[in-house]
Amino acid sequence: MITELLLLFGEATAGAAELEYVAKLWSPPAEFPPTLSDIAGRLPMATPARDADLITYAHEGSHFLSKWHKGGHAVYAGNGLRIILPTPPILTARVFAAVPQAERGRVYETYRQQGQSEYWQAQPLMLVDEWVAYTHGSLARRELAIPTRQESDRYCAEMGTYVWHLHRLAKAKPEYPIAELTAFCRWNEERCRSFIPDWRKMFNKTFD
C-alpha cells in the first residue's frame, strides 16, 4: 500500500518528503464522488467537516486530514497519503504583501485576514493546505458533474497563485530546503491542469 502511495506522488518527492498514511475508518455511501469518498472515509462519521454540500464536505474534509507537524505542516494529498513539508521561514503576511494587485482575485482579502490568525501567521504552508482543499472541492464537483459552482475552479487558481508567490519567496531563502515544496507544488498544479478545463487561462505560472 505504501509503495502505491509513493507512486502517486512520484519518485523524486517520495525520496525527499516525509510521509504519513491515513487509514480508512468506514465506507461512505455510494453516491459520494470518489474524491469525497476517499476523504470522508478517513474521518469519523460524525466529523464537524461533514456538510450537506458535497463540494464543501470535500474541501473541509481535506483540511481536517491535514495537520500541524513539528517543523512543518502535513498536507493531505489523497489516497491516504499525507505529505509533510518543512515550513518556510516567512510570515504569511509577507506572502500576501508580495501578491500584485492584478493577481489578487476575489478571495485575497478573505485569506489575507485569515493569515493574521494565530496559527496562520507563522505557518505560510496553510496556503498550500487551502490550495489542496480547493483542488479536492473542484475535483469532487467535476466527479459529480455539477454545472454550477464554477467559482471552485477559479478560487483554486487564485490560491495556486498565492502559493506560487510563497514558493518564489521561499526559494530566495538559501537555508530553506526548497526541493520538497517545489515537487509538491508541481504535482498539485499538474493535477489541477488535468481536470480543470480552463486552468491555463486562470493560472499561467510554473514552479521552477
pLDDT-derived band of residue 13, with 50, 70 and 90 as boundaries?
A: very low
Per-residue pLDDT tens for 162-196?
999 999 999 999 999 999 999 999 999 999 999 99
Which pLDDT tens digit goes with each residue over 32-83? Answer: 999 999 999 999 999 999 999 999 999 999 999 999 999 999 999 999 999 9
- The set of residues, in sequence order, having a beta carbon less than 8 Å from that of 3 and lying 6+ positions away, is none
CA dist 8 and 83 (Å) reads 11
Q: Which of 157, 172, 148 has its CA nearest to residue 108?
A: 157
Say if residues 81 and 158 touch (Cβ distance below 8 Å).
no
* DSSP state string for 176-190: S-HHHHHHHHHHHHH
Indicate the pTM of the whole model.
0.93
Which residues does 157 contact at the CB level (< 8 Å), separation at least 6? 105, 192, 196, 199, 202, 203
pLDDT tens-place string over residues 109-136? 999 999 999 999 999 999 999 999 999 9
Under 8 Å between Cβ of 132 and 75: yes
As a whole number of angstroms, the distance between CA 78 and CA 97 comes to: 31
Confidence tier at 9 by pLDDT (50, 70, 90): low
Q: What is the DSSP letter of 88?
A: P
pLDDT per position as a tens digit, 187-198: 999 999 999 999
Helix (H) or strand (E) holding 111: helix 108-114
DSSP SS3 for 133:
helix
Q: Are 127 and 188 in contact (CB under 8 A)?
A: no
Q: First vs last Cα of the chain: how many Å apart?
A: 31
